[in-house]
Amino acid sequence: MNELFQQAVTLMVAGMGFVFVFLAILVGATNLMSKVVNRLAPEIQVVPPPTAGNPTPPPNNNNDTMAVIAAAIAKHRSRHKK
Protein backbone atom coordinates (compact mmCIF):
# COMPACT_ATOMS: atom_id res chain seq x y z
CA MET A 1 0.00 0.00 0.00
CA ASN A 2 2.89 2.34 0.80
CA GLU A 3 4.48 1.83 -2.62
CA LEU A 4 1.16 2.48 -4.37
CA PHE A 5 0.69 5.73 -2.45
CA GLN A 6 4.25 6.80 -3.32
CA GLN A 7 3.64 6.13 -7.01
CA ALA A 8 0.39 8.12 -6.87
CA VAL A 9 2.13 11.11 -5.28
CA THR A 10 4.97 10.90 -7.81
CA LEU A 11 2.50 10.81 -10.69
CA MET A 12 0.53 13.74 -9.24
CA VAL A 13 3.66 15.87 -8.77
CA ALA A 14 4.86 15.05 -12.29
CA GLY A 15 1.47 15.94 -13.77
CA MET A 16 1.17 19.19 -11.84
CA GLY A 17 4.76 20.08 -12.76
CA PHE A 18 4.07 19.44 -16.43
CA VAL A 19 0.96 21.65 -16.33
CA PHE A 20 2.86 24.43 -14.51
CA VAL A 21 5.72 24.37 -17.04
CA PHE A 22 3.28 24.32 -19.96
CA LEU A 23 1.35 27.32 -18.60
CA ALA A 24 4.60 29.24 -17.96
CA ILE A 25 5.68 28.59 -21.57
CA LEU A 26 2.24 29.65 -22.80
CA VAL A 27 2.40 32.95 -20.89
CA GLY A 28 5.91 33.62 -22.20
CA ALA A 29 4.87 32.87 -25.79
CA THR A 30 1.83 35.14 -25.49
CA ASN A 31 3.95 38.01 -24.16
CA LEU A 32 6.52 37.49 -26.91
CA MET A 33 3.84 37.49 -29.63
CA SER A 34 2.35 40.67 -28.19
CA LYS A 35 5.71 42.45 -28.34
CA VAL A 36 6.39 41.24 -31.89
CA VAL A 37 2.97 42.34 -33.14
CA ASN A 38 3.33 45.77 -31.54
CA ARG A 39 6.69 46.26 -33.28
CA LEU A 40 5.55 45.05 -36.69
CA ALA A 41 2.15 46.73 -36.73
CA PRO A 42 1.96 49.70 -34.36
CA GLU A 43 -1.41 51.24 -33.66
CA ILE A 44 -2.59 53.74 -36.24
CA GLN A 45 -3.66 57.07 -34.79
CA VAL A 46 -7.08 57.91 -36.20
CA VAL A 47 -7.84 61.61 -36.42
CA PRO A 48 -11.55 62.45 -36.52
CA PRO A 49 -12.61 64.59 -39.48
CA PRO A 50 -13.15 68.25 -38.67
CA THR A 51 -16.71 69.37 -38.19
CA ALA A 52 -18.18 72.18 -40.28
CA GLY A 53 -19.40 74.28 -37.37
CA ASN A 54 -22.79 73.94 -35.74
CA PRO A 55 -24.91 71.36 -37.52
CA THR A 56 -28.51 72.33 -38.05
CA PRO A 57 -31.03 70.03 -36.39
CA PRO A 58 -33.41 68.20 -38.70
CA PRO A 59 -36.72 69.95 -39.15
CA ASN A 60 -39.58 68.46 -37.19
CA ASN A 61 -43.21 69.27 -36.79
CA ASN A 62 -43.43 69.71 -33.05
CA ASN A 63 -47.23 69.97 -32.93
CA ASP A 64 -47.75 66.69 -34.80
CA THR A 65 -45.17 64.94 -32.64
CA MET A 66 -46.77 66.16 -29.43
CA ALA A 67 -50.21 65.06 -30.63
CA VAL A 68 -48.96 61.55 -31.46
CA ILE A 69 -47.19 61.23 -28.11
CA ALA A 70 -50.27 62.43 -26.21
CA ALA A 71 -52.48 59.94 -28.07
CA ALA A 72 -50.07 57.09 -27.32
CA ILE A 73 -49.95 57.97 -23.62
CA ALA A 74 -53.75 58.20 -23.43
CA LYS A 75 -54.15 54.79 -25.12
CA HIS A 76 -51.57 53.22 -22.81
CA ARG A 77 -53.23 54.64 -19.70
CA SER A 78 -56.67 53.48 -20.85
CA ARG A 79 -55.41 49.90 -21.28
CA HIS A 80 -53.53 49.75 -17.98
CA LYS A 81 -55.97 51.19 -15.47
CA LYS A 82 -55.76 49.80 -11.95
pLDDT tens, 55-66? 676 666 678 888
For the chain, the distance separating the N- and C-terminal CA atoms, rounded to the nearest angstrom, is 76
pLDDT, mean of residues 66-72: 91
Q: How is the chain split among helix, strand and coil, in percent rounded to 5?
A: 70, 0, 30
pLDDT band with cut points at 50, 70 and 90 for residue 82: low
Has residue 17 got a pLDDT over 90? yes
**DSSP conformational letter for 43:** P
